[in-house]
A and B are shown apart, each in its own frame.
Chain A
């Protein structure tokens, strides 16, 4: 049995904890959060051992791994402390706000041979896995353009008081939504070498951006576009989509389906005809042992557990992999500050995003 401690019991933390606790190869030992009303309720009703102080939990409990789901600005420090204790770490996305921290933590985990994973759950969505498989097989020919999109109804009013709307704490659509879209590009089509034409605007928010747009440039000359807007009420929930164009066709994938158009059937994809074909989540999804909100959430936790068992340190969504998304985020921040520096990870240097009213009326 793998002994796990939870750190952070917000929305994602509770969801992870539910899945972790249901995992047959895991013992949930304790959880840490500053919201004592929550840890108290869980202690009384579910026998959970609660801590307010992370260091105390790390010192007192015999753990193999932690799941960290705290606000983004706390990730780097908490991950460091967990690694220092020799623990395997699953951390919510985004990994870190400053890629320099990320680089250091990758090295630290490597030097200790510890398993790391970041919660980019879209890599565990069957339709996106199918998209990556098709692109990596070369079935689309030479890829020349990629579009990655994420829309949803998170900020719909000029209000809100959580860290998600606070600058410098990993709030804003860039860290919350865009990093998923970026990681999908990295997963399906490879990591962009540069970005340009960045637009980061508030629609309703004053301090953070609600929409992010930019061009992506790949080392091999391919181009891409990132389109993200978390103030779009026409979407019922977060909707993420990636489209890849190549010399032999294109594909579009979202959580539900992967639509493929091949100009010529390809040897690497037996059974996929010339022209259109569609593969649906109902046929692609693998069964999970416990389901909460989507197969991908259980899938990623199980993958982490198996990684810990096998000491697999180079698995999907490792810190090293997630750091690539953080670097692209940094390039976007750098481009929008006009510094032109390819890597500059300080969100505090970015100018305050302007709301649409400010832009229209000064």
Chain B
């Protein structure tokens, strides 16, 4: 399968859902502002006007409403696309706390007899059942995107890294095959542990994977250290997407973008912003500082 090129600049969604790694007050102020769907759509529209047509978003319940809007306005946004990141983990975590693991799982799966039989309490799950359950969970998360372009589909870092630590590598293979087979899309992996994940994916024979991770000048949440990350980016065969490039505001925009653009082969940069001014500034910085000779194809396998 020939790799689809990703856009250089992707728009993120943390600001819409009260995620801010530096300040709970700021996160709450953003939640208040973006309680109104129109406020979110206005920002996405502003980003589109600035030339950003890819929205990389978690499968938060509210994203369904955003999807509805773009589905009803294809003429206005003919080339718009989503990079879904699944799942919105707090939804599952809260359900597990409230209902227990098995009942929570039941809640998120279709209510047909075959699934119910599979999840009968105390009965061991066969390997094929794991495949089916994972496929069903992916399908449930993908429902809100029907009819929209989703060329890359991600597993969120909390799940990627949980599976990575547990050594449940088979899940990455199941996800990979299902995303390609059913959605004709490229599977992506968000992680805080790039070097370790690359080893595991290589071991599974998953070639040149899309991997989204924190890549920033201060080494914030880059496990294994900034040096190891830089080495992996320079030498290993994968398609990096840089996130948290501004480290939630800990680095000035120019310094932050300069650093990321100086790394070889970072294919895309994802950032979130709440005002057209900030979107324009960051996009312009990326356009200005990107050196096309550095954004080349990955090293040969």
With CB as the reference atom, state the residue of chain B lying closest to A278: B23
With contact pairs A35-B101, A281-B22, A287-B219 given, residues A17 and B165 touching in the complex (Cβ less than 8 Å)? yes
**Which residue of A11, A22, A281 contacts B165 across the interface (Cβ within 8 Å)?**
A22
Check A289 against B224 for contact (C-beta < 8 Å). Answer: yes
Check if B1 is an interface residue, CB within 8 A of chain A: no
Check B223 against A291 for contact (C-beta < 8 Å). Answer: yes
Check if A292 is an interface residue, CB within 8 A of chain B: yes
Check if A206 is an interface residue, CB within 8 A of chain B: no
With contact pairs A18-B161, A290-B223 given, residues A283 and B250 touching in the complex (Cβ less than 8 Å)? yes
In the complex, chain B residues whose CB is within 8 Å of the CB of A48:
167
In the complex, chain A residues whose CB is within 8 Å of the CB of B17:
236
With contact pairs A280-B250, A292-B158 given, residues A18 and B99 touching in the complex (Cβ less than 8 Å)? no
**Which residue of A161, A237, A254, A291 contacts B100 across the interface (Cβ within 8 Å)?**
A161
Give the contact stretch, choosing among A39-47, A56-64, A212-220, A323-331. A39-47
Kindly provide the distance from the CB of A24 to the nearest chain B CB, expressed in whole angstroms.
11
With CB as the reference atom, state the residue of chain A lying closest to B165: A18
**Which residue of B19, B97, B103, B218 contacts A282 across the interface (Cβ within 8 Å)?**
B218
Check if B248 is an interface residue, CB within 8 A of chain A: yes
Check if B168 is an interface residue, CB within 8 A of chain A: yes
A153 to B27, CA, bound (A): 16
With CB as the reference atom, state the residue of chain B lying closest to A46: B167
In the complex, chain A residues whose CB is within 8 Å of the CB of B169:
45-46
Check A290 against B101 for contact (C-beta < 8 Å). Answer: no
Check B221 against A291 for contact (C-beta < 8 Å). Answer: yes
With CB as the reference atom, state the residue of chain B lying closest to A254: B24
Check if B301 is an interface residue, CB within 8 A of chain A: no
Check A237 against B90 for contact (C-beta < 8 Å). Answer: yes
Check A291 against B161 for contact (C-beta < 8 Å). Answer: yes
A38 to B133, CA, bound (A): 14
Check B165 against A21 for contact (C-beta < 8 Å). Answer: yes
Within 8 A of B (CB), among A1-57: 10-11, 14-15, 17-22, 35-38, 40-42, 44-48
**Which residue of B103, B121, B130, B218 contacts A161 across the interface (Cβ within 8 Å)?**
B103
Check A256 against B23 for contact (C-beta < 8 Å). Answer: yes
The number of chain A residues touching the other chain, given as a range, is: 35 or more
With contact pairs A256-B20, A292-B158 given, residues A41 and B165 touching in the complex (Cβ less than 8 Å)? no
Kindly provide the distance from the CB of B197 to the nearest chain A CB, expressed in whole angstroms.
11
With CB as the reference atom, state the residue of chain A lying closest to B167: A46
Check if B170 is an interface residue, CB within 8 A of chain A: yes
In the complex, chain B residues whose CB is within 8 Å of the CB of A18:
161-166
Q: Mark A174-217, 1 if CB is under 8 A from B, else 0.
A: 00000000000000000000000000000000000000000000
Kindly provide the distance from the CB of A99 to the nearest chain B CB, expressed in whole angstroms.
26
Kindly provide the distance from the CB of B27 to the nearest chain A CB, expressed in whole angstroms.
8
Q: Mark A154-168, 1 if CB is under 8 A from B, else 0.
A: 110101111010000
**Which residue of A17, A160, A285, A295 contacts B99 across the interface (Cβ within 8 Å)?**
A160
Check A290 against B193 for contact (C-beta < 8 Å). Answer: yes
Check if B98 is an interface residue, CB within 8 A of chain A: yes
Q: Which of B18, B165, B167, B196 has the largest count of A CB atoms less than 10 A from its CB?
A: B165
Check B123 against A14 for contact (C-beta < 8 Å). Answer: no
In the complex, chain B residues whose CB is within 8 Å of the CB of A237:
90, 93
In the complex, chain B residues whose CB is within 8 Å of the CB of A154:
94, 97-98
In the complex, chain B residues whose CB is within 8 Å of the CB of A45:
127, 130, 168-171
Check if B37 is an interface residue, CB within 8 A of chain A: no
Check B99 against A282 for contact (C-beta < 8 Å). Answer: no
Complex A-B: 7 CB contacts under 8 Å: A18-B161, A21-B165, A159-B98, A161-B99, A236-B18, A290-B196, A292-B165
Q: Which residues of A contact B (CB under 8 A)?
A: 10-11, 14-15, 17-22, 35-38, 40-42, 44-48, 153-155, 157, 159-162, 164, 236-237, 239, 241, 254-257, 280-283, 285, 287-293, 295
Extra inter-chain contacts (20) besides given A46-B169, A290-B161, CB under 8 Å: A10-B101, A11-B97, A14-B166, A15-B162, A21-B166, A22-B193, A36-B122, A37-B125, A41-B124, A45-B169, A48-B167, A154-B94, A160-B98, A236-B17, A237-B93, A239-B24, A256-B24, A257-B24, A287-B219, A291-B161
Q: Which residues of B contact A (CB under 8 A)?
A: 17-24, 27, 31, 90, 93-94, 96-103, 121-125, 127, 130, 158, 161-171, 192-193, 196, 218-225, 247-248, 250
The 9 A-B residue pairs with the shortest CB-CB distance, nearest first, are A18-B165, A291-B192, A282-B250, A40-B124, A46-B167, A22-B165, A291-B223, A162-B100, A160-B98
